[in-house]
Amino acid sequence: MSFARLMAGLCGLVAGLFTLSLVTGVAPVGAGESLAALVQDDGGPLTMVMREIRLPRALLAVMIGISLGLSGAAMQGFLRNPLAEPGLIGVSSSAALGAVLALQTGFAAAFALALPLSALIGATAGVGLILFLAGPGGGAFTLILAGIALSALTAALTSLVLNLSPNPFAANEIVFWMMGSLADRSFDHVWMALPVMVLGWIALARCGRALEALTLGEDAAASMGFDLARLRLVLVGGVAGSVGAATAVAGAIGFVGLVVPHVLRPLVGGSPSRLLPASALGGAALVLAADIAVRLVLPGRDLKLGVLMALVGAPVFLHLIWRMRGQT
Amino acid sequence: MTVLSLENLTVRRGPCAVLSQVSLSVAAGECIGLIGPNGAGKTTLMRAALGLMPSEGRSSLADLPVHARAGQAAWLPQSPEIAWPVTVEHLVALGAMARGRPAGHPSVQHAIDRMALGPFRSRAANGLSGGEQARVLIARALAQDTPLLLADEPVAGLDPAQQIRTMRVFRALAAEGRSVVVSLHDLGLAARHCTRIIMLHQGGVAADGPPAQVLTDARMAEVFGVSLFRADTADGPVVQPMATVGP
């Protein structure tokens, strides 16, 4: 399959799932009527549902999918490891810790965006710490070790907060938030996350040529004129911005950044730079599909997106690993 | 014309100098064999010259801004790595990409032809045999189309015919006015195909000159601890380590 055809197919898939997401919901309204209410403001409740609830939800699914898919492809390219994922450098767990602290201290209730803002601050602090721990060089090894250490530390601190929480309601809220969801999000969340994500996407999109060179290893890439220390800074910053913002507005959603690049890699001929846009679209399609599924599988039960993604993603990933066994 | 000049290049690991005060220059049109026993500093010398590791002293390459080095020298590391299942053609084209050139640049096709990779061009590079991968990586370095090529034991995984073909490619590059610095353990290949040999020993230059002047019995015994069998044939000199000497 040619790259242009693949990209066209993925664009079509995302557009189709985006439309399907817009017309999926508890309200018993036909698809045509829903879309008409979205385009033409009839002043009724359906327009409000479409514009204030379903549209931001679908937009967030696309934005978060792009962030996770793109970051996963970038991390796998940088670390030259198909099992790498964005959470490896501790961004998601740092964001989660920020959100958990906000929920526990009650700061989350101070104003509408206090929770995602706290998560974003957590992600930023985590990335600062990881870059400090990893040192000034451009190597991947210290970055992985620093990421593992940071993930362990933030997970321990999150558990500590839950452990010592005097308020069972706050603990409950924390546990549900950490499962990841796109329910009840508004355009406020879109506008808060979008600028940070876009900066992250731009940073990651600029890494394509260097990731191509890294196919040959760090030494060869450095000799080909790529500043690996700068690449690491840009890449970690890009992952932090996009995944930090994604976690901030939707909680922790795993497997997208791991599975999507893995599935699409053979379709782009293994090229790390082509995998970036393909994984961005693939991630958007997967998150849209999963968010549609959580509304259809158990309507009215608030099945969490992160839970469904892990339930579906883990067996798919195990299947991929099973297939890899025969090849190596 | 000088394509690489090193002045008192020194690399330290802790208190030890693994490369000590090395000064040399490489002129256009030279095919230089870098020889020395294990741990003599061959890889360190090339990596430091390229600016890939911290060093003291000066290297004309390392002094360039990082992005400008790709236009001056191509580097073929000792441990080959092909992380993803990209095609041979795609991988070779990375050499052109390093120069900001498109994948369809003539240098890519030229490199594929030179390393006889035509039949493999559409195959996944990381699915080839070790020797074939080595040829693909040499082609990648050739496609970078630079005045200087530094190659760290590039023929180690190749069969005898491919070793000879590869050394002939290096010699042909030199004949075209480019320069090649190639580290070798095979002294016979170095003696037959290189215009100049630099012998490293304990982090310093033990000898530097034409093969016949460098590969003397005394130096071979002192640096490598071996004696050499020599013969002159119509096809050039033949050199073969025969026995260990000394302690």
Query: Cβ B84–A227 below 8 Å, yes or no?
Result: no
Residue ranges making up the domain that contains A37: 3-327
- List, as one string, the DSSP characters of B153-214: STTTTS-HHHHHHHHHHHHHHHHTT-EEEEE-S-HHHHHHH-SEEEEEETTEEEEEE-HHHH
Mind listing the pLDDT tens digit for each residue in A175-231? 888 888 888 888 888 998 999 999 999 999 999 999 999 999 999 999 999 999 899
Collapsed DSSP state (helix, strand, coil) of residue B147: coil
Query: Cβ A209–B97 below 8 Å, yes or no?
Result: yes
Identify all chain A residues contacting B83, using CB atoms and an 8 Å cutoff.
80, 214-217
> How many contacts (CB atoms, under 8 Å) link A and B?
81
Please give the C-alpha separations between residue B91 and each of B125, B143, B245, in angstroms, as whole numbers: 7, 10, 45
Percentage of chain A exceeding pLDDT 90? 41
Mind listing the pLDDT tens digit for each residue in B63-91? 999 888 999 999 999 887 899 999 999 99
Identify all chain B residues contacting A223, using CB atoms and an 8 Å cutoff.
50, 52, 69-70, 73-75
Identify all chain A residues contacting B69, using CB atoms and an 8 Å cutoff.
223, 225
Q: Is B68 on the interface with A (CB under 8 A)?
A: yes
The count of domains in chain A is 1
| Nearest C-alpha in A relative to B144 | A224
- Sheet architecture: strand order including B16-27: B16-27, B2-13, B56-59
Q: Is B167 on the interface with A (CB under 8 A)?
A: no
Query: Cβ B52–A219 below 8 Å, yes or no?
Result: yes
This prediction's pTM: 0.90
From first to last of its 247 residues, chain B has per-residue pLDDT tens of 899 999 999 999 888 889 999 999 999 999 999 999 999 999 999 999 999 999 999 999 999 998 889 999 999 998 878 999 999 999 999 999 999 999 999 999 999 999 999 999 999 998 898 889 989 999 999 999 999 999 999 998 788 998 999 999 999 999 999 999 999 999 999 999 999 999 999 999 999 999 989 998 889 888 988 888 888 888 778 888 888 887 6
Domain segments of chain B as ranges: 1-72+148-158+179-247, 79-145
Please give the C-alpha separations between residue B183 and each of A29, B32, B37, B198, B219, in angstroms, as whole numbers: 74, 8, 11, 9, 18
Question: Among B52, B70, B140, whose Cβ lies nearest the Cβ of A216?
Answer: B140
Query: Cβ A217–B81 below 8 Å, yes or no?
Result: yes
Distance from CA of A326 to the nearest CA of B (A): 14
What CATH code would you report for B1-72+148-158+179-247?
3.40.50.300
Query: Cβ B52–A270 below 8 Å, yes or no?
Result: no
Per the CB < 8 A criterion, the answer to whether B184 and B153 are in contact is yes
Distance from CA of B124 to the nearest CA of A (A): 8
Query: Cβ A224–B94 below 8 Å, yes or no?
Result: yes
Name B207's bridge partners: B199
| Nearest C-alpha in B relative to A268 | B86
Mind listing the pLDDT tens digit for each residue in B126-150? 889 888 998 999 999 999 999 999 9
Q: Is B97 on the interface with A (CB under 8 A)?
A: yes
Q: Helix A91-105 to helix A140-164 angle, to the nearest 10 degrees?
A: 20
Direct distance between the N- and C-terminal alpha carbons of chain A, in angstroms, rounded to an integer: 25
Identify all chain A residues contacting B47, using CB atoms and an 8 Å cutoff.
219
How does residue A328 score in pLDDT terms, banded at 50, 70 and 90? low
Tell me, what's the pLDDT at A327?
Answer: 60
Q: Is B81 on the interface with A (CB under 8 A)?
A: yes
Query: Cβ A271–B90 below 8 Å, yes or no?
Result: yes
Domain CATH number, residue A282: 1.10.3470.10
Query: Cβ B83–A214 below 8 Å, yes or no?
Result: yes
- Tell me which residue has tokens 């329910």: A183
Half-sphere exposure of B3 (CA within 13 A, CB side): 24
